[in-house]
Structure 1
Amino acid sequence: MSFDHRDPGTPEAEWARCGALHRAPELDLAGVDRAVVFAAHPDDETLGAGGTVHRLARAGADVRVVVATLGENSHPDSTTYAPHELAEVRREEMVAALRTLVGPDAVPHFLDLSDGSLTEEQLRAPVAEHIAWAEKGRKPLVLSTWEQDGHTDHDTLGRTVALAAGARGVRCVQFPVWLWHWGTPTRLPRGLVRVPLDDVDRAAKRAALDHHVTQVRPLSDRPGDEVLLGEHVLAHFERPAEFFVVATPDQSAVFDRVHTAAADPWAVDTSWYERRKRDVLLGCLPRPRYERVLDLGCSTGALTAALARRAGAVTAVDASDVALRAARARLAEEDLANVELVHAVLPADWREDWAGRDLVVVSEMGYFCSPTQWHELLGRCVAALRPDGHLVLCHWRHPIADWPLDGADVHREARRRPELRRVVSHRERDFELEIFGLVPRDEP
């Protein structure tokens, strides 16, 4: 997507009235000791995350900024600077801006790739190297341009960083830049979080942005040297908060690690909460027996085994091979042979032969999807139900750290589905259980 920087786009006043921005939960920065910020061009880091970078540095975090290109093609029609000359100016601007945000000794890491033509192949190795550095911290954080920002370099960098961080299970958030120009409040991405900025952070951000002279002022009064970031664009970055989209970690990598670290990471066999919640779910099922059951996010198989005693056949799915090995051992010990265990990352690995189910159970796994993934997965669950089937959702009611959704988001999406009607509802302090059936086709 290309932009006419003279176009005012969506006015900041319209964004200021956007309730979703005001309601966005706060990103937890407590204890972050290493952070790496990936910018496609000099100034991305300041526009999208300058206040957050300054706040982290003030709190004592070691902050590294990686800049993929020097933005040498920002003024293709300039007669004042050739691209290689503009690149060197922007390099100096980047150093000055970063030292304003982080400290006098800060030095950016330049990849010196070509502006406007980033590829995942070019980025994969350096991105992995810098994320590995961040991972050595006790509580690392990765920040990057947003992978749906509408600029090819922003999108490619964001996508590469999200995949690399997700595979290592490192928390990753992405900052939109051009969204505020081309987007509208009705096109706001789901999973937004915010970082409030105090006056000190906002002042540092403004001072850093002033160092990017080639972007915030005209290069000259000649044609082709016009200002790129006019006041109508900069207004979006004067807010008292910065906003990020939470990237979705790789479920296989994260949950293999979780189940390797502990044989029973959720204490499903010993916790009274887990045992009681399982009994409540089973007690709320509208029928004593179901012929074909689909259990999504089965982990070590405690609920799967209980479902198998009331089913003809169960397909149990999890993203972790380590968890599935534990589930297989449990089922063998309890002599339950009517369960098929499947490794799958959902919704990408959904199988069409899972259709025609009497019961689909999604317990404590919906929030491990991105909003888009959960929307797709829920649709597939609904389509897999027989006309008289039931869909069970059961989720923790408290905030879920480092994932895009909470339990409330998961259940809210289901309640919005016109083809579903709720037949059972149980809510208490720690978890919510809802069971849905399909609305008959002949009902209005």
Structure 2
Amino acid sequence: MVTFDHRDPGTAESDWARCGALHRAPELELTGADRAVVFAAHPDDETLGAGGTVHRLARAGAEVRVVVATLGENSHPGSSTHTPQQLAELRHGEMVAAVRALAGDRAAPVFLSLTDGALAEDELRGPVAEHLDWVQGGENPLVLVTWERDGHTDHEVLARTVTRAAGARGLRCAQFPIWFWHWGSPTRLPRGLVRIPLDDAARSAKRAALEHHATQVRPLSDRPGDEVLLGPHVLAHFERSAEFFVLSAPDQKTVFDRVHTAAEDPWDVDTSWYERRKREVLLGCLPRQRYGTVLDLGCSTGALTVALAGRAGSVVAVDASDVALRAARTRLDREGVTNVELVNAVLPAGWEDRWAGRELIVVSEMGYFCSPEQWEELLDRCVAALEPEGHLVLCHWRHPIEGWPLDGADVHREARRRADLRRVVSHRERDFDLEVFAPVPRGQR
């Protein structure tokens, strides 16, 4: 956890205003969102991080539920004028008024009244599941929550609990940083950042809501321990014309089991000219005619796996969906392919150490289904598993990938930035990027 002093000026808003990455962040589409649940660790988190977005959603007719885990009763531990119980009562009323200022009758806060500063996943799982059940009843649901790397334990515990549960349901989920804007810097900006523009009405509603959080934006008294927590240097970060979120990656198994159950060939790998030609281009770009040991990550129904098996001694093909793997097994049996082992695993968490010593690793159309952190870990795993003369192949769609933190450009950019990889083949078309990398010996990095 990052520790910081609220009174410290931290990173100036002028530094963020000059940050080009903020201005270039893609927009998170709200059109059609009919239900949204916002999880806040403390009263005021919802306003600081997502107040303008709540206003936009409510104004567009969406049902909005704001769930606050604690009453923030320990915000002023050194106060000689207010007990934690008194602060809890005040902040309860402030929260009700703030949410009304943001959304009128379209939203009301739900109070879990858990202990401020001591949130635990075990006590959160039940309430989180209840409110995700509610939002999942919408046609186009949206889940918002504090950021899992925000530097405050409560923010992070709540985020981990919500993102795991939302991901397992395949729900669209985005996290809002709050304290990061204070202690962080443009050089530490998280990947997968998106923005929601705020018009004058949304910004005005956000300001009005913040005014209702009086215990935070004004001193409790002039005595020591009652100082203002959200001073002008902090509030300046939340006056922007956009709010920023970090997209969470949905659970791959849930999403792709659903996709492969809904359609026998969801990607048209057997009928699409794009898919058939892309496989031929990939095979043609391999620097060697044959490879002894091959790892095919994100194999889906096995069309590329079969082609790789013809150039390999053995192939381990991995996919998050056991539904897809059943289709891959049918394909392998039908075509008499016997040198392929199918493995059901969500990567990178399900990586197996026995996959070390690979001569070829292929990651085709699956890198952008990771979070930025997961993709970095998966690249680490791939590089470590490659033989010194081995190759890593990346092949991805070049157009935007809706609902996931990364797109093809992000995936390939991160690989090119690595000192332990060098590119040996590059092929770019209108629709896909294909690159082949080789490991760089340790002494040359």
Scaled by the length of structure 2, the TM-score of the pair is 0.97
Instruction: Give the aligned partner of residue 207 of structure 2.
Output: 206
Deviation at 1:442, TM superposition (A): 6.8
Structure 2 matches for 1:305-316, cutoff 5 A?
305-316=306-317
Counterpart of 2:279, as a letter, is R
Bigger drift between 96-105 and 58-67 goes to 96-105
CA distance in 2, matches of 1:397, 1:359: 23
- CA distance 1:385–1:105, change in 2 (3 Å): closer
CA distance in 1, matches of 2:105, 2:335: 64
What stretches of structure 2 of length at least 5 have no aligned partner? none
CA distance in 2, matches of 1:155, 1:284: 43
Bigger drift between 430-439 and 141-150 goes to 430-439
Deviation at 1:2, TM superposition (A): 4.2
CA distance in 1, matches of 2:23, 2:107: 33
Deviation at 1:106, TM superposition (A): 3.2
Deviation at 1:143, TM superposition (A): 0.1
User: Alpha-carbon deviations, 1:89-112, whole Å to 9, x = none?
Assistant: 111111111011111463211111
Instruction: Give the aligned partner of residue 65 of structure 2.
Output: 64
CA distance in 2, matches of 1:352, 1:86: 52
Scaled by the length of structure 1, the TM-score of the pair is 0.97
Asked if 1 retains the 8 angstrom alpha-carbon contact of 2:63 and 2:107, the reply is no
Instruction: Give the aligned partner of residue 79 of structure 1.
Output: 80
Bigger drift between 40-49 and 342-351 goes to 342-351
Deviation at 1:81, TM superposition (A): 2.0
Instruction: Give the aligned partner of residue 301 of structure 1.
Output: 302
Spell out structure 1 runs of 4+ moving beyond 4 A: 440-444
Counterpart of 2:44, as a letter, is D
Instruction: Give the aligned partner of residue 230 of structure 1.
Output: 231
SS of 2:104 mapped into structure 1: coil
Deviation at 1:408, TM superposition (A): 0.4
2:332 equivalent to 1:331: yes
CA distance in 2, matches of 1:39, 1:269: 46
Asked if 1 retains the 8 angstrom alpha-carbon contact of 2:71 and 2:116, the reply is yes
Structure 2 matches for 1:95-174, cutoff 5 A?
95-104=96-105, 106-174=107-175
Structure 2 matches for 1:213-252, cutoff 5 A?
213-252=214-253
Deviation at 1:389, TM superposition (A): 1.5
CA distance in 1, matches of 2:106, 2:436: 58
Asked if 1 retains the 8 angstrom alpha-carbon contact of 2:58 and 2:107, the reply is no
User: Alpha-carbon deviations, 1:56-102, whole Å to 9, x = none?
Assistant: 11111111100111111111222322211211111111111101111
CA distance in 2, matches of 1:196, 1:382: 39
2:184 equivalent to 1:192: no
Deviation at 1:14, TM superposition (A): 1.1
- CA distance 1:441–1:213, change in 2 (3 Å): closer
Asked if 1 retains the 8 angstrom alpha-carbon contact of 2:62 and 2:106, the reply is no
- CA distance 1:102–1:442, change in 2 (3 Å): closer
CA distance in 2, matches of 1:440, 1:347: 24
Asked if 1 retains the 8 angstrom alpha-carbon contact of 2:27 and 2:196, the reply is yes
Instruction: Give the aligned partner of residue 53 of structure 1.
Output: 54
User: Alpha-carbon deviations, 1:137-162, whole Å to 9, x = none?
Assistant: 11111000111111111111011000
Deviation at 1:440, TM superposition (A): 5.3
Bigger drift between 423-432 and 165-174 goes to 423-432
- CA distance 1:413–1:84, change in 2 (3 Å): same
Instruction: Give the aligned partner of residue 29 of structure 2.
Output: 28
- CA distance 1:265–1:178, change in 2 (3 Å): same
2:444 equivalent to 1:434: no
Counterpart of 1:392, as a letter, is V
2:361 equivalent to 1:395: no
| Percentage of identical aligned residues | 77
SS of 1:281 mapped into structure 2: helix
2:294 equivalent to 1:290: no
2:430 equivalent to 1:424: no
CA distance in 2, matches of 1:77, 1:391: 56
SS of 1:74 mapped into structure 2: coil
SS of 1:346 mapped into structure 2: coil
CA distance in 2, matches of 1:219, 1:274: 64
